[in-house]
Each structure stands twice: as C-alpha cells, then as structure tokens.
Amino acid sequence: MVRPLELDTPAVTAVKVEQVEAPDKKGSSKPAEQGKAGVRRRWRRSKRAAEPAPQAPAVASETRRLTLEIAPNDPVLAFLQGATGAVDVSTLPESSPAVAEMRASSVELVVPLVASGEMVGLLALGPRLSERGYSHDDRRLLDTLARYAAPALRLGQLVRQQQAEARSRERIEQELKVAQLIQQQFLPSSLPNLSGWQLSAFYLPARTVGGDFYDVMELPDGRVMVVTGDVTDKGVPAALVMASTHALLREAGPRLVSPADVLARVNELLCNDIPAHMFVTCLVLVVDLESGDVVFANAGHNLPYLRGADGARELRATGMPLGLMPESQYDEVQEQIRPGEVLLLYSDGLTEQHNDNGEMFGFGRTGELVAAAKTGSGLVDSCVTELDRFSGSQEQEDDVTLVTLERSSAVRPSRVATEELLLNFSVPSEPGNERQVLARVADAVAECGLDEDALERIKTASAEATMNAIEHGNHNRPELPVDVSVLRTSQGIAVEISDLGGRREDAVADHPDLELKLAGLQTPRGWGLFLIENMVDELEEHTHEERHTVRLVMHVDPTAADQAETDGGVS
C-alpha cells in the first residue's frame, strides 16, 4: 500500500479517478465491481500522465502515488462536485473516510478536476514547502491548471479505456480466427474423386464461425455418404454444437451405414447434451456410385433438389430435427440419380436470405436455378452469384451451405427418350372417380407384363393417388380435371396423375401408426400416401407452377417367376 506522503514540497499531483464514469452514471464499461450499490471507487494519486518516475531526481519535489478509495456514498463526493476551485481539506466533512485518509497522507488542498461537468480526478497537494499556507494567487494558479488538466486527463482516460476495449476485442477476434481454423478442419478439405460423379461444395458462415456443416464419407461397402446439417442459431454457440454433431456423425456414419439409423443414433446422443432450444437439422444421403441408387433420411433439413430430365423436383423425406425428441425414428426414402442428373443439398441460409425489399430468396428461385443447372459446379456457382446479386445491400443472414452431386451423363440414354405414352385421359374431380381411373389404368397396362400382384398394386396406387388429387389437390371441384397418363418405360410402366393444387407441403403426412389410431391418438384416416408408397417401386412428386404430378413407377422384371403363394388358413 501507499506510505504516508512526505509532502514537504508543493507537489502537484493528480489524483485521478480510475473509473471514468461518475458514480451515478450508467453503462460503465467495467464488469464486476461496477454496480451502484456498495461499490467502492478507487481513486489513485499518480504523477501526471501516470508515468512511473524511476529517474525522478532526488530534489525536493517528489511525487508519490496515493491510492484513495472514495465510496459512492462518501459525503465528500457531494462536496467536491459542488466545489468551484481549490478546497482546503480542513473544510471537508470529517465523517468522510476519504477525508480521513487524505489527512493521514498530509493532503492539505484538493482541486477537483472537472470535465464536461463530471469530476474525473483531483489534484491533491501537501503542505507548502515554505510552511506558509497557500496564497490566493496559488489557488488561482491551481484553478487554471485544473481547468486545463481536467479535459486532458479525461481524454487520457478515454484513450486508455478504448485501448483496453480494443485489446479485448482483438483477443476475441484472435480466438474466433482460431475457432474458424479449427472448424475448417471439420469440413472436407478436398472432395473425393468419385468415378462417374462430380461433387461440388460451398460453405460460407454468416459470422467467423458457423453452425452449418457438410461431410462426405466413403462407406465400407463402397457407397458414399453425403451429409449436410444446420445447427439453430449461428456464431459460436452454433459452432460448438456443430462440432459435436459432426463428430457423432463421423462415428455413426461408416458404422451404421443406414441413413435412418445414423440419424436415430445421433439424435439419441445429442438429446442428452444439447442446450435447450437448440437443435440440428440434418440430411444423410447414401449413394451407390454404380447404379445411382440413393437412399436418404431427413431430420428436418431442407429437402434436396434433383434436376432430372424433366426439370427440378424435391426429394421428400421428413423427420424430427436432431436433439429435440429422444427416440425419434426416421424414414428412408429411395431414389435414383440418373446419368446427367444433378442433386443439390443446401441449408436454409440460401432460401431464407432477404433482399432490400424484404423478400426472401425462397424455394421458387432455388428451384429455377436447379432446373436451369447444367452441371453441379455450375449450379453452385449460379446459386452463389444469384444469392449475392439478390441480397443487394443486405448482410448475409445465416450460414450458407451448398453441396451438389452430379452423375456424369455418359452411357445410358435419358428416361424420356425411352418412354411410350400408352394412355392419357382426364376425370373430373369428383369423389368416386378413382374407380374409373383404376379400371382404365388396369386396361392400359394389361399387355405390359406386370404380374397379378404388381397389377393390383398399381391399381390401388393409381386409385389412391387419384383420390388425393381430387380431394387434396383440386379440393373436390368437379370443373378441375385430374389428368392421368400411362407410360411404358425402359424399366416397366409409369402412371402420372396430375392435379392443379400446386406444391403440397403437407403431402407427406406422418406415417400412420395403427396403435396410435386404435388408441384414438391419431385419426383413423391418413392411409392414402402410405399405401401408395408401399404399393409402387418408385414414387416421385413434382410441381410445376400449379400443376402437381405424382409419378408411380412399377418395374417389370422379365425373368420374374409367377409368385403365386399358397396360402394356408391362418396368417
């Protein structure tokens, strides 16, 4: 601590307020000790400009540091703030602990340093060397000095404060840069070279670090797993959750292989650890490089877009985001990427970016870009360019991740070229007309080599799809037609059923659960889409403006033996 001063010289010493703010001022920049109640303010007496004085000559004028603590409720504060010039310590209230300390340190005179109406420090003086009291002139000189010193002191304090803030900002920025480097290690540093396929990716966090991620893993069976994910929120909290999710996926992916199992497993682990109100959307997709067969499952992530021979369509699969609900189960959806087709996985940073007019980038623009895409890398480029152009002066709102998977268009001809239209007709949107569709589809495919089981399945699927088109697409309005096309394809047959209801967000209902239905927890209805999915070999949905089409595909295996089962009585 400070030794009693030997103020045998007229030492002019600034006693400065270490904290800049006045006692009643809010928004102080220092933490902890700063609150209003009971906080003691530290006053420090220092040499001018607070320089250490190692080389101070051993002359009479010696200055010392005096640290005075003046509590916010010390009566002397009011005194000093009201003072107009130099104040004799002897006139200050004795009840003040600070005054007692001044006296103990032989301070005789104090001059408040006031800048912008705020006391920022004190000049404290010991006894005059001549052992006479301070004269009138002395005091005037001190007043003048105080008037000049106060703004300078205030400025010094502000500079110092800013420097401290800048240092701490710099430290945080430095740490964030390190975090960014670490996070970049989680993302694939280069994409694998896949024979017959081109992978492209783009990742741009909204801040230094982000909550988006993507990954590409080669599986033990030779297939490739592609993962995209998005943690709620952005910045550091999201990045931390992203890191652990990424690690869990890395572990579960090659071990479990099945996208649904991977998501279910990671969900279980995340549910234990994730902070409340945070969750992760994630899409896991496994592609067979030979056949183009794709199986994927979705935990609340944006639906992938496929640019096929006839434009863009979304590949649908739904499920709970990771980390929200233990024991969530995920459905696996099968698809195929044909030669020349491009698949886009993306995060909502793309679709939810706003422009200067407050519009969102949206699915429409995204779908158009996909439909126009020639190649995967071209699609990434056009998305980035278009998003940048669209955003105008708006900041990037959320992390953006894009991954494209393009199958080289080589050997096989495209699907359209090999399709033959067998039948095309319309029915009015009246309940019951599905039976007409069922009968006409059955006639049209009679010669296509479907076995009896497959025939029954396409009949049921066609009827159900028509019912959906009538009820959910055209809302039972008889003047709206349901169009039906029956096509012979290279694989078998396809039935396309179209309505004018546009994109149906709710088309994929929750999987019906009989036990829940019997317990009255789910409506007894809701079997239509479920039946269709289970009847056909492939189910596709696409929407072009208001026209919504469901395509039902049945494969015909020329070598298939007649699978007449001999049924016993009891199942």
Partner 1 sequence: MTSDYEVLALNESQSAVIVLTGQVDRDAATNIAGAYDAAAATSPTTVVLDFSRVDYINSTGIALIVSLLGRARAEGRAVHAAGLTDHYRQIFDITRLSDFIQVYSDVDAAVGSATT
| Chain contacts with partner 1 (rule: CB under 8 A) | 431-432, 434-435, 438, 453, 456-457, 460, 463-464, 467, 512, 514, 517-518, 520, 523-528, 530-531, 534, 565, 567-571
Per the CB < 8 A criterion, the answer to whether 299 and 207 are in contact is no
Helix/strand/coil for 314: strand
Q: Least distance to partner 1 from the beta carbon of 434, Å? A: 7
Nearest to 402 by CA among 188, 200, 259: 200
Residues contacting 511, CB < 8 A, separation 6+: 331, 530
Q: Please say which residue, 374 or 477, places its beta carbon nearer to partner 1.
A: 477
Q: Least distance to partner 1 from the beta carbon of 478, Å? A: 16
Q: Please say which residue, 389 or 525, places its beta carbon nearer to partner 1.
A: 525
Q: Least distance to partner 1 from the beta carbon of 202, Å? A: 41
Q: Least distance to partner 1 from the beta carbon of 398, Å? A: 39
Rounded CA-CA distance 472/501 in Å is 7
User: Residue 521 carries which DSSP code?
Assistant: S
Q: Please say which residue, 291 or 476, places its beta carbon nearer to partner 1.
A: 476
Q: Least distance to partner 1 from the beta carbon of 506, Å? A: 16
3-state secondary structure 56-79: CCCCCCCCCCEEEEECCCCHHHHH
Q: Please say which residue, 19 or 466, places its beta carbon nearer to partner 1.
A: 466
Helix/strand/coil for 438: helix
Rounded CA-CA distance 224/337 in Å is 13
Q: Which residue's entry shows tokens 């304090």? A: 157
Q: Please say which residue, 417 or 521, places its beta carbon nearer to partner 1.
A: 521
Exposed/middle/buried for residue 220 (C-beta within 10 Å: 0-12, 13-18, 19+)? exposed
Q: Least distance to partner 1 from the beta carbon of 450, Å? A: 13
Q: Which residue's entry shows tokens 């002359």? A: 59
Q: Please say which residue, 216 or 450, places its beta carbon nearer to partner 1.
A: 450
Q: Please say which residue, 340 or 501, places its beta carbon nearer to partner 1.
A: 501
Q: Least distance to partner 1 from the beta carbon of 456, Å? A: 4
Rounded CA-CA distance 201/214 in Å is 9
Q: Please say which residue, 161 or 460, places its beta carbon nearer to partner 1.
A: 460
Helix/strand/coil for 233: coil
Per the CB < 8 A criterion, the answer to whether 156 and 47 are in contact is no
The b/e string for 493-513 (b: 16+ C-beta within 10 A; e otherwise) is bbbbbbbbbebbeebbeeebe
Instruction: Determine the Cα angle at 503 with ends 500 and 505, to 5°.
Output: 135
Rounded CA-CA distance 474/480 in Å is 6
Q: Least distance to partner 1 from the beta carbon of 268, Å? A: 25
Q: Which residue's entry shows tokens 């992938």? A: 304
Residues contacting 231, CB < 8 A, separation 6+: 211, 212, 213, 238, 239, 241, 242, 245, 278, 279, 280
Q: Least distance to partner 1 from the beta carbon of 283, Å? A: 26
Q: Please say which residue, 70 or 467, places its beta carbon nearer to partner 1.
A: 467
Q: Please say which residue, 135 or 523, places its beta carbon nearer to partner 1.
A: 523
Q: Least distance to partner 1 from the beta carbon of 524, Å? A: 4
Q: Least distance to partner 1 from the beta carbon of 545, Å? A: 28
Question: 164-167: long-range contacts at Cβ-Cβ below 8 A with a sequence spacing of 24 or more?
Answer: 165/29
Q: Please say which residue, 60 or 514, places its beta carbon nearer to partner 1.
A: 514
